[in-house]
Structure 1
């Protein structure tokens, strides 16, 4: 199947499944335990229907979105997914070029298979873009601080601090498949450091490591103040799902600029709330406290209409993680670009048929949801 034959993300996923090995495919695609949270993330979007409006001038659709002081072509960013060279030799560098060409921002994983500097340089080859480093807090704070300072020197605009992994989710596929990073790949953001038993397992590295270079399971709200003290970049929290945590985030003296409603793609907590269902309470709390805090959604997005539904429920934008991996597997840079172009076209198509010509016109009244009596009612 050529890229021109791929008409939707489902086509792309099917094509990728025929390209990736079973071990890599299941590592990318599966969720924690029985995959309930992953499946719920996707199915949550189907509980909402779009209320079509007619006889409106939709000859011009403006889908541009402002964030990090820059403009993206539509409200979508590439989520930070690790080890992209498992899908294609150019990995994160190919994704960076595609994201730049598509006009969407890119999150870069701490566990990328290309260094954070090389990823940005690859994108810079084709144009200017915004890069965001996904970050963990390690017990050895120096490890985290080194990554932050490198990202700032390289011109990254923000940190996506992942807060939902005090310990790794139960990912049965990794154990069953004895998943390891192939010997020809490495995690270059750490140089020669040995970081965490997870990476040690992935790389077959049996060298004695510094046990302080593992994810800190004692990260608290006070830790954010330390993080703020070492950087001027925007700090976004990735992994919030409740109003209670949103309240703490917007009140933090660390000055949080954004919240990403996420359950790690269903890869952490089994039976976690679907991110779309978590969105409303987070938005209501965060926006009531600070209109400047952006709230984005990660998890389950597979269509342009999903992006529309997320925005109608209050999200400022969405992130996608698995879709660029499928694009890489099928066609490298061009495969990722094809995926992004599909989502943008679908999103603008949905806007037009819903009678919305700008993002500000997308609102809860654009949606209906099935009631207990079985009929759909306007939100």
Structure 2
């Protein structure tokens, strides 16, 4: 401790718990955050719930290093907490004690459901609720996976499948798997290894990783130990304050040896109502009324939760006409559009090639609009109404992947790659980096088994002949191509 630093007693800190005078302890330092309350992206209530006490455990997993320095003036730091004044408590088993028990051997976990079950037991409840939650009644989340069970496989025999190659190319980069880690926020909520642990796991399999705009580590930290040739993408949520997004794009541009593309997320211009996540916001909140906010603080929808906090400030005014030209001014990296739900928007995306190199068919893992169609439906729509899209841009999908058979079915329908988000987070929660490695190991092995039993040696050989989609095709959109607003249908092919 520096000689000039003031020691402040815990009892003194406990007096400052209102919007007029709010102190918190972080990493042993005492901060006066009163003036910052209305500026906090998650709202003042989140901080006021932690006022007058040590907030490090809640703060650390969701804030990358440097956040304090960026948002608080130096004078906000009042001194150090006097360790002699902190009451020693004994209670139920702590998280640290629970960690000491250790996870089960990763090789004993045979599928992604078992990994999720272990993660649920080991992670803090707040982390589980954020990862697991989906919007409203979670119908879309459940259906994302259920629909794959409605697609049947058509194995061929008398085919030499001794060798099985799961490698492919994405945006011109060779990767070891047709499986990528989709942008998954707040990884350190579930385990200290965080996004960097996911990156190290991906390196073992040559898998691509898209790093979340809301990662709990800085992009520099995540890619610090990257393997030679390892491929990363950066997810972008455009902010109302465009300068913030422009600064992040500039930062990513400077790391283009690692970041090969930008994923512009479109499927969540507003946060979904994730009730499991929001419920966490009311726990241990007896000191603060649920509707409290400072006088100059904008209103926030819903009950809060990590999801609501992260989305506050996200722009909802993006358009084809304005946003893509704006992006072109600030980066020449390839653009991947995440959150395409319909064949019409896939068609429009293809018309913006070569700036747009790929789309990710996604409904945000069921976390935005409940009862939205699963990505498999959109794949079938594209095949039916505008199959030329597959030749113009790459089509990726995410949502609902639990088995290697799910991966193969998506690839057979024309997807170039399949993304997993929750699976990576639950792998992390189950065993840190080793848990993510086990997750990818299971998916790779199951994918190889499925390919061999279909009589396929390479992912490029997969096609509609390997699956029966009759049950699913009955339910896809049947309202016509709807592309006449982009030109006469008989001229569509030439326009692409």
Q: Tell me the CA shift for residue 160 of structure 1.
A: 0.7
Partner of 1:72: 175
Q: What is the DSSP-based 3-state SS (H/G/I as helix, E as strand, rest coil) of the residue aligned with 1:233?
A: coil
Q: Please, which runs of 5 or more residues in structure 1 have no aligned partner? A: 181-193, 375-379
Task: Quickly say closer, same or farther: Cα 1:234–1:287, change in 2 above 3 A.
Answer: farther
Are residues 1:352 and 2:455 paired?
no
Q: Tell me the CA shift for residue 29 of structure 1.
A: 1.0
Are residues 1:118 and 2:221 paired?
yes
- Greater RCO structure (CA 8 Å; 6+ sep): 1
Task: Quickly say closer, same or farther: Cα 1:145–1:345, change in 2 above 3 A.
Answer: same
Task: Quickly say closer, same or farther: Cα 1:103–1:94, change in 2 above 3 A.
Answer: same
Q: Tell me the CA shift for residue 56 of structure 1.
A: 0.8
Q: Tell me the CA shift for residue 22 of structure 1.
A: 2.7
- 2:279 and 2:305 in contact (8 A); partners too: no
Find 2:268's aligned residue among 158, 165, 174: 165
Partner of 2:462: 362
Partner of 1:274: 374
Q: Distance in 2 between matches of 1:348 and 1:248?
A: 34
Q: Tell me the CA shift for residue 341 of structure 1.
A: 0.9
Q: Distance in 2 between matches of 1:39 and 1:350?
A: 23
Q: Distance in 2 between matches of 1:369 and 1:130?
A: 33
- 2:346 and 2:389 in contact (8 A); partners too: no
Q: Distance in 2 between matches of 1:36 and 1:77?
A: 24
- 1:224 and 1:254 in contact (8 A); partners too: no
Partner of 1:191: none
Q: Distance in 2 between matches of 1:240 and 1:285?
A: 15
Q: Distance in 2 between matches of 1:138 and 1:248?
A: 23
Q: Distance in 2 between matches of 1:163 and 1:128?
A: 28
Task: Quickly say closer, same or farther: Cα 1:363–1:342, change in 2 above 3 A.
Answer: same
Q: Tell me the CA shift for residue 202 of structure 1.
A: 6.3
- 1:165 and 1:268 in contact (8 A); partners too: yes
Q: Distance in 2 between matches of 1:333 and 1:14?
A: 17
Q: Distance in 2 between matches of 1:179 and 1:71?
A: 46
CA RMSD of aligned residues (A): 2.5
Q: Tell me the CA shift for residue 37 of structure 1.
A: 0.5
The superposition leaves residues 187-219 of structure 1 with CA deviations (integer Å, 9 ceiling, x where unpaired) of xxxxxxx9x979xx668xx9xxxx9x8111111
Q: Distance in 2 between matches of 1:17 and 1:132?
A: 28
Partner of 1:46: 149
Task: Quickly say closer, same or farther: Cα 1:20–1:290, change in 2 above 3 A.
Answer: closer
Q: Distance in 1 between matches of 2:370 and 2:120?
A: 24
Find 1:318's aligned residue among 418, 434, 445: 418
Q: Tell me the CA shift for residue 282 of structure 1.
A: 3.4
Task: Quickly say closer, same or farther: Cα 1:316–1:90, change in 2 above 3 A.
Answer: same
Q: Tell me the CA shift for residue 226 of structure 1.
A: 1.0
Q: Distance in 2 between matches of 1:371 and 1:134?
A: 34
Q: Where does 1:215-364 land on structure 2 (aligned, <5 Å)?
A: 215-222=314-321, 223-252=323-352, 255-282=355-382, 287-289=387-389, 291-364=391-464
Are residues 1:26 and 2:126 paired?
no
- 2:151 and 2:471 in contact (8 A); partners too: no
Q: Tell me the CA shift for residue 135 of structure 1.
A: 0.4
Q: Where does 1:84-99 land on structure 2 (aligned, <5 Å)?
A: 84-99=187-202
Q: Distance in 2 between matches of 1:25 and 1:323?
A: 12
Q: Tell me the CA shift for residue 159 of structure 1.
A: 0.6
Partner of 1:149: 250
Larger Rg: 2
What is the aligned residue count?
349
User: TM-score scaled to structure 1, two decimals?
Assistant: 0.86
Q: Distance in 1 between matches of 2:440 and 2:357?
A: 25
Q: Distance in 2 between matches of 1:341 and 1:266?
A: 25
The superposition leaves residues 98-147 of structure 1 with CA deviations (integer Å, 9 ceiling, x where unpaired) of 1111110101001000001111113x2x4431110110111111111111
Find 1:133's aligned residue among 223, 230, 234: 234
Q: What is the DSSP-based 3-state SS (H/G/I as helix, E as strand, rest coil) of the residue aligned with 1:257?
A: strand
